[in-house]
């Protein structure tokens, strides 16, 4: 009985841990490419160009990739965002922040 209970507890903990390991949502940092995913469905992992300088891709302090909502026209984006082609994949468009 104790072994069965212990196994059930381990399975429950594992399931809860995996549930928290989802893909980043719109506006969250990400790693990946627009074509290969890296974000929740309906979003692309896009390099933000507002940062200017970039460092090594494996250095988290230089992380400048963000999940941006996919769009096909301006009406798909919230106020303050433009529907623009993704620089690395112009066949895809994402809502990118308007920078002053």
Per this entry, what is the length of the chain?
100
List alpha helices for 1-73, DSSP H.
Answer: 2-19
Write down the pTM of the prediction: 0.64
DSSP string, the chain: -HHHHHHHHHHHHHHHHHHT--PPPTTSB--S-TTT--SSTTEEEEE-GGG-----TT-GGG--EEEEEB-SSGGGSPTTEEEEEETTEEEEEEEEE---
Q: In this predicted structure, what is the pLDDT of residue 14? A: 39
> Residue 22 has which token pair?
């989802």
Q: In this predicted structure, what is the pLDDT of residue 20? A: 46
Q: In this predicted structure, what is the pLDDT of residue 98? A: 86
pLDDT along the chain (100 residues), means of 10: 48 40 88 80 83 51 79 96 90 87
Q: In this predicted structure, what is the pLDDT of residue 63? A: 53
Cβ(83)–Cβ(65) under 8 Å?
A: no
């Amino acid at each position: 009985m104790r072994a069965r209970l212990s196994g059930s507890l381990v399975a429950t903990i594992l399931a809860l841990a995996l549930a928290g390991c989802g893909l980043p949502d719109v506006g969250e940092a990400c790693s990946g490419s627009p074509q290969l995913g890296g974000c929740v469905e309906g979003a692309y992992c896009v390099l933000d160009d507002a940062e200017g300088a970039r460092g090594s891709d494996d250095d988290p302090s230089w992380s400048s990739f963000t999940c941006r909502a996919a769009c096909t026209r301006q009406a798909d984006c919230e106020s303050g965002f433009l529907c623009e082609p993704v620089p690395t994949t112009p066949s895809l468009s994402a809502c990118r922040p308007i920078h002053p």
